[in-house]
Amino acid sequence: MAFLDLDGLTVHVQRLGPQDGGPPAATAVLLHGLLTDSLASFYFTLAPALSAAGVEVLMYDQRGHGRSGRPATGYRLEQFVDDLEALLDRLELTGPVHLLGNSFGGTVAFGLAARRPEQVVSILAVESEPASPAWAAKLDVLLRRAERELPQDATLAWVTEQHGAHTARLARSASRLLSGTTLARDIPASLLPAEAELRAIRCPVLAVYGTESDLAEQSDWLDELLPGCRSTFVAGQEHSVLIEAPDVVRELALFWLQEHGAELRDPTARLEGRVG
């Protein structure tokens, strides 16, 4: 565990090298989502399998989340992308990296790929999408609703009943983040990439959706927008694919990295076939 200062923001970073101590087969940066998410979601699901396969893994808590600093302002998408750029530079990760993003983390990944195309080998985006006017409008509605409803006792009681005490604690933390910062207003006001900038993203992209998720219907649009994109679906899942179906996500990620140049060393990670 480490804490780095990035232009005045304290960032909590976890870095896992290959478990066998050998040279990395690839470098993967794992990017978590908004509000109730943190690097812990990857630490207990995907990261150990990647490290066992010989992959160098970089995870960090995004601004306002987990153990990273929580400034009162400064939550536009471009500032999250700035943080990722600064972190890669600070750690001297100048070579190509694979970006694996969950929800909003995938949106950050697309932002870096548009800004630094030469540094991104591939993107695996779980229940995610690039920033667009429709994305900003949707996040405006969702964040304002969360800001209004999460502090209510009835909401927390329902979360506890349906999802357990741990998720309720995450919901309380998300409520404090929303009430104590400008995140709910900053995200919808983000500087959005032009469609031409998104179409210029040429790295391979695997978009993973739950079949019951509202995002699944955007797959045709995203496949058309990004020349190197293809979609795959996890049956019976909604938005929380990473947490609810971690074994599937691990298998997809290992397939994906192997397909795109990673010579995985762990025998259990030597997979046959392709992601479809």
Tell me what pLDDT residue 270 has.
46
Residue ranges with strand state E in 17-128 = 26-31, 55-60, 97-102, 120-126
- Where is pLDDT greater, at 163 or 253? 253
Task: Calculate mean pLDDT across residues 111-115.
Answer: 96
Mutual angle of helices 165-180 and 133-149, in 10-degree steps = 110
The pLDDT value recorded for residue 188 is: 98
**Adjacency order of strands within the sheet including 26-31:** 2-6, 9-16, 55-60, 26-31, 97-102, 120-126, 205-210, 229-234
pLDDT digits (tens, 9 = 90+) for 49-94: 999 999 999 999 999 999 999 999 999 999 999 999 999 999 999 8
The tokens for 224 are 């058309």
**What would the two tokens of residue 135 be?**
């994305």
Domains, the chain, with CATH or none: 2-130+192-269 (3.40.50.1820)
Strand partners, 100: 30, 124
β-strand pairing of 205-210 with 97-102: unpaired
**Residue 66 to residues 14, 35, 76: CA-CA distances in angstroms?**
12, 9, 18
C-alpha 152/C-alpha 136 separation (Å) is 25
Query: What local confidence, expressed as pLDDT, does residue 266 receive?
Result: 65
The C-alpha atoms of residue 124 and residue 38 are separated, in whole angstroms, by 17
Are 62 and 68 within 8 A, CB to CB?
yes
Closest C-alpha to 110, from 74, 142, 135: 135
Q: Where are the alpha helices (DSSP H) in 32-76?
A: 40-43, 47-52
Contact by Cβ (8 Å): 127, 208: yes
**Lookup result for tokens 């469609």:** 195
pLDDT surpasses 80 at 1: no
pLDDT of residue 275 exceeding 80, the answer is: no
- First and final CA of the chain: distance in angstroms? 36
